Amino acid sequence: KAGVTQTPRYLIKTRGQQVTLSCSPISGHRSVSWYQQTPGQGLQFLFEYFSETQRNKGNFPGRFSGRQFSNSRSEMNVSTLELGDSALYLCASSLEATRINGYTFGSGTRLTVV
Amino acid sequence: AQSVTQPDIHITVSEGASLELRCNYSYGATPYLFWYVQSPGQGLQLLLKYFSGDTLVQGIKGFEAEFKRSQSSFNLRKPSVHWSDAAEYFCALNSGGGADGLTFGKGTHLIIQP
C-alpha cells in the first residue's frame, strides 16, 4: 500500500514568485491536511480538506491556499513568496473525517526561497 | 486555546537505558493525543495514539505512553533504547471531531550515546 506522496521533494524559488506543492494521499483516504515546519515556529497547521471542502484553516495569510480534487489529491499554493516561507511542508492524510485513526504523513517538500 | 508543551529540547540517553519523554497539554476536555517521530529529512511517523479507555497505550518500536488526566500529561517511554531511536519526537493534540488539525509541541531531540 503506497504511502502519502508529496512532490516535488525539493524546490528553490525566488522572492515574489508563486509555488504549487502536490500531495497524493493513501488510497481511500479522504482527508488531507497541510503543515508547515520551520526551526523557529515548529509544526504549524495550515489547512485541512475533506471531500474537496476546506474544513478549517490555520493562522496563515491569504497567500497560502489549497484545494482538493475529486480523487482526494491535494495541492497547496503560496503566492508572492517571502524568505520566511522557506520551510518543510508536510502533507498528512486520514481515512475519515474524525481522524480517530490518526494521520499518516508524507516525507514533505523542502521549499527554499532566495 | 489548546497547547502542547515538551519541556525537554534535548535528551541524551545511553544505548540500552530506559527513556521517558515528557509531554504536557492544555485543553478543556479529553483530547486525542499522539506521539510522532521524525528522522532527519523525513516526514512524521505515528508511534502511538490515545483517544479513550486504557490510559496506558502501546505503540510501535517498543514505545508506550501513559495518559494522566490529573497531570495533563502524556509521557512517552521505552524500557531500552537502541541507536536507531535517535530522532526528533513530537507530542501532538487534536480536539477530535473538530477540524482544527494537530497542535504540536516543539519537539524533543533524542541523542543516543554508545
Looking at CATH, the fold of the domain delimited by B3-113 is given as Immunoglobulin-like (2.60.40)
| CA end-to-end distance (rounded Å), chain B | 41
Neighbours of A100 (CB within 10 A): 15
Which residue in the block uniquely carries the three cell numbers 524533543? B108
Q: How far apart are CA A92 and CA A85, in angstroms?
A: 19
Residue A9 forms contact with B (CB below 8 Å)? no
A105·B32 Cβ contact <8 A: no
The cell numbers describing B101, all together, are: 488539525
Fill in the amino acid letter for A43.
L
Q: What is the pLDDT of residues B48-105, one digit of tens each?
A: 999 888 899 999 999 999 999 999 999 999 999 999 999 999 999 987 655 578 899 9
Any CB–CB contact under 8 A between A90 and chain B? yes
CB contact under 8 A, B103 and A45: yes
Whether A40 has its CB under 8 Å from any CB of chain B: the answer is: no
Give the three-state DSSP class for A15: coil
Q: What is the pLDDT of residues A68-102, one digit of tens each?
A: 999 999 999 999 999 999 999 999 998 876 666 67
Q: Which three cell numbers stand for residue B65?
A: 505512553
C-alpha cell at A89: 511542508
User: Which amino acid appears at position A38 of this protein?
Assistant: T
